Structure 1
């Protein structure tokens, strides 16, 4: 191993993989982010073997538990696979992150959910605006029907009766109303990652009144989206969708409170 000019450590292999000691956010998130960057930049390719746990501990100056949690997160994200007795290897393809995996710590579940909401927010708000600007009577009628279905099953308990959940059908309908089929494909891909367990956690974490409040809020926000689309008011539809996803973000922060026990400054 050798030091680079920025204080990182290089592992001598067939190809050099540069990893630097974590700086901010959390230890685990920083480790995961560095590996994601190495893969995105082509410095790690499918089939490449990652350094061992012991090597990563020495390279990064962190605890074994942090290394293991980071590797577990990368595996759930579909970026690596763990081969018993052999080690961790970069996968040959992309598997959509399973943010519902029970093997993920609460911290990683929280971070992945927040990233998912960020991705949805970037896409869904402009889609809502386009849906309003290009709305047809038939599309509005379908959207109202999906809203009614959602009102009767906001927590997804009746999913087995539908090929897709009322929530998914509602947002797919908006994407279809935008008139852009690429949006439909991307939204469908993103919605497959929307965690069903978040609703389960809501029901566990909140009392009966809290559950009723969240349900009423969610239905009201989806109704605001529909009404803005019906008025062909693109700006209002954009704002209503943004309000909805900001509410989802705050819900994640409430149900998965931040754990400051693994801050970067902590000497592990």
Structure 2
């Protein structure tokens, strides 16, 4: 049975995808939390290479921190080569991070995280199919549909593995954003971050890319058609296939 539309506002239809990921930081480690949120958004492509981050005042308000803390976080991103900042009229902070192509040689970067990463695959199997079910049950706006179809087209148009990896992440974040649920968006961003690290550590397999693209289309079509059960099942299959590939190649 397809769920009835809810009254929660459509976050994805009112703000850019990168902005949707930002949320008030928790606990006493404001600096570290700011760096984590912004860096995750940049690595997953929600803030694209060459795009400008929102103004400092806006970022500070959205993340619930002082502008001094935000500036320290942005300075940390600059030190890591992820952004560059220019001052004066027309200045701002621009994403300079260039996505890297997946490579089997990158497996050393996830050494020691086996338990966490395997658990993220279980968590993903719960969260992302549920997000699809909720998204398909909503009365999507024209902007929501455009976000989904545009994100899907970007995956299909990707010309190299690095661009494809980020476009893939953006599509999954776009699906989460049209649920209208901030907690769901946060959960999907978390699992996509872990998934990104794992996929970066295995070689690109063209057959898998073809299967994945077909599944992406089925998922988006089901969401737009309002078929919640079909959308959930399509995402479940997608999650299962990706998990099988990762478990096989990473061990």
TM-score (norm 2): 0.51
Q: Please list every run of 5 or more consecutive structure 2 residues that lacks an aligned counterpart in the other structure.
A: 1-105
Contact 1:147 1:170 in 2 (8 A): yes
Q: 1:103 to 1:173 in 2, by over 3 A?
A: closer
1:180-259 paired onto structure 2 within 5 Å? 180-196=181-197, 198-199=199-200, 201-203=202-204, 211-257=205-251
In structure 1, C-alpha distance between the alignment counterparts of 2:203 and 2:121, rounded to whole Å: 17
Contact 2:110 2:198 in 1 (8 A): no
In structure 2, C-alpha distance between the alignment counterparts of 1:143 and 1:117, rounded to whole Å: 23
1:1-268 paired onto structure 2 within 5 Å? 102=108, 105=111, 111-134=115-138, 135-153=140-158, 156-158=161-163, 165-196=166-197, 198-199=199-200, 201-203=202-204, 211-257=205-251
1:80-100 deviations in Å (ceiling 9; x for gaps): xxxxxxxxxxxxxxxxxxxx7
Cα RMSD between the aligned structures?
A: 2.5
Q: Shift of residue 199 of structure 1?
A: 4.7
Q: Could you say which structure has the greater relative contact order, defined with CA pairs below 8 angstroms and 6 or more residues apart?
A: 2
In structure 2, C-alpha distance between the alignment counterparts of 1:103 and 1:213, rounded to whole Å: 25
Q: Shift of residue 150 of structure 1?
A: 1.1
1:30-74 deviations in Å (ceiling 9; x for gaps): xxxxxxxxxxxxxxxxxxxxxxxxxxxxxxxxxxxxxxxxxxxxx
Larger radius of gyration: 1
Query: How many matched pairs?
Result: 145
In structure 2, C-alpha distance between the alignment counterparts of 1:126 and 1:154, rounded to whole Å: 30
Q: Shift of residue 195 of structure 1?
A: 2.9
Q: Please list every run of 5 or more consecutive structure 1 residues that lacks an aligned counterpart in the other structure.
A: 1-99, 204-210, 258-268
Specify the SS of the correspondent of 2:203: helix
In structure 1, C-alpha distance between the alignment counterparts of 2:241 and 2:128, rounded to whole Å: 14
TM-score (norm 1): 0.48
Specify the SS of the correspondent of 1:193: helix
